[in-house]
Chains A and B, each alone.
Chain A
Amino acid sequence: MDAIVTHDLTKTYQSHVGRGSVTSLDGLNLAVQQNEVFGFLGKNGAGKTTTIKLLCSLLRPTRGTASVMGFDARSRKARQRIGYLPENPYFYEYLNPRETLDFYGQLQGLDRSERAAEWLKLSECLDLATIADQRVRGFSKGMRQRLGFAVALVGDPPALILDEPMSGLDPMGRRMIRELILRLRDEGKTIFFSSHVLGDVEQICDRVGILVKGKLVVQGRIEELIAQRFHKVEVILHGLNETAAAALAADAKLARVSEAGRHFVYDDLDSANEAVRAGQAAGAKLVEFTPVRDSLEDYFMRHQEIES
């Protein structure tokens, strides 16, 4: 059973002023497997937050269905199994972390002893013990994020849905969140998070989905997605004369000169090999032959261009 499945999930907002409607999410068919880390990518405004809100039953879908751990996303059983961390989470400013977690524990349906146990576990896991009795009002962004994570984890839900969990954090904070996510995955949880910071996604996600203007354009393992596409190859030749260099540069995607020699970047292996042969025939020495893999960022940007 997949952890999160959506089928033709759509959300359209009616404009009150009569200027027509805005489709925030269009026909989303998503499948997140159990015990994986899934990165949900998209520009700001692409519909990532809308998707997450639909999964957490904060919004009603205009069309389509969504289910979490086999239950309809709007049912109580589904919400029992979700841990949600919103972007820029807000909590009651005048409470402290201990009281906050106690409150959410009550909402989750835990009794007093269970809530106490949760507090011990989570405060240790997220290092809240030192700030346990301070009011949330004075918390930094990093402290709020830790608290937000703790709140999401109350009740030990099998699925975590995080909206931009690393936004606004310093490198230390981002690292902490990354490690936390990986640790949770090792414990058997499924983590679905949205981000527009591709570097973070690349580092920890098993699978990704890219959302452009409300539509899911691709979905799958990172390596597979990137591997499908272009294999750029960089060739460095030393001791090439001008005319030969010009000839090789004509077929190359990129050409530049450095201390090491002349660099040429070709779109595929065949043209790269061809260039090497031509260069060696002209008397140059092959210094380096490196396949350049597409970064996720390039891949992402390319998809933005395709859609627009």
Chain B
Amino acid sequence: MRIWAVAHNTFREAVRDRVLYVLVFFAAASIFGSKALGWISIGQDIKIMVDISLAAISVFGVLIAIFVGTNLVHKEIDKRTIYTILCRPMARYEFVLGKCLGLAGLLAVVVFVMTAIAAVYVFLLGGRLTSSFYLAALLIYWKLLLITALAVLLSALTAPILGAIIVFAAYVVGHATNIFINLPPQFDGTVSKQVLQALYYVLPNLSHFDIASEAANGVAIAPSYVVWALAYGTVYTAMLLTLAALAFEDKDV
């Protein structure tokens, strides 16, 4: 019940953050503006709209996860609302989980709204969306959960600006990790190859959550792929949350 109280409160507070609305506005603007790009194509306008919609959900979702996420814990420490909460008879991990849950709820609403806007817009323009589109949005949401967990972990360890930079870097690198296992032949047998391969398994591989290409081109997705991707995200996110709870356990405020 305590976790829920913190989550509910976090959600309410995040909803009041003006940054949120600015980002959602720009995301919606991108979605509506994507039609303009379609005009200079030779019939690929629906594909372009789907691409841009999913990209907007992903990018702006990450920005929200980073800025609202890293900010939230730090605003608490900064404004000392956290003092009166942590002195309560609740475990510290309950606080961390509550915060994450609140943010997860916020992101769910944001992703849902943006997906709905995109779907309605495409439908109004005569396009058809396959289930791959909705699955793509779901996987993007799962990716955002992972990023949020990372943001919360870092906010327990470092200053908000540094945390935001690290999370953003992790987002960019996370999409490029495939490069570590597709090395050109001159790397065979070297120590660097083994190190990079180990890194591949340690760093989060965010490209597993990226099925935008399939969604935009109407290619079907195997359900088992989605299941495995969700499993991957769940385990990794759970790991990050556990680390965040541990980090917060003895943190001085």
Contacts and interface: CB of A to CB of B under 8 A. Distances in A.
Answer yes or no: A and B touching, Cβ < 8 Å: yes
Interface of A: 53, 56-60, 76-77, 79-80, 82, 84, 86, 88-92, 94, 103-104, 106-109, 148, 151-152
Contact of A104 (B1, B13, B88): B88
A107 B88 contact: yes
B87 to A, nearest CB: 4
A76 B89 CA distance: 5
Dominant SS among interface residues on chain B: helix
Contacts of B81: 90-92
B87 A79 contact: yes
A59 B253 contact: yes
Contact of B250 (A60, A86, A148): A60
Contact of B13 (A86, A92, A108, A151): A92
A107 B80 contact: no
B239 interface: no
Interface string B86-122: 1111110000000000000000000000000000000
B252 A58 contact: yes
Contacts of A109: 1-2, 89
B80, B85, B86, B89, most chain A CB atoms within 10 A: B89
A68 B86 CA distance: 16
27 contacts: A56-B83, A57-B86, A57-B87, A58-B86, A58-B87, A59-B253, A60-B252, A84-B83, A84-B84, A86-B80, A86-B83, A89-B83, A90-B79, A90-B81, A91-B81, A91-B84, A92-B9, A103-B5, A104-B84, A106-B5, A107-B2, A107-B6, A107-B85, A107-B89, A108-B88, A109-B2, A109-B89
B87 A84 contact: yes
Contacts of B5: 103, 106-107
A88 B78 CA distance: 12
Contacts of A148: 84
A58 B83 contact: yes
Contact of B84 (A77, A106, A151): A151
B5 to A, nearest CB: 4
A58 B92 CA distance: 10
Given A84-B87, A107-B5, A107-B88, A58 B253 contact: yes
A164 B227 CA distance: 55
Nearest to A163: B83
A96 to B, nearest CB: 12
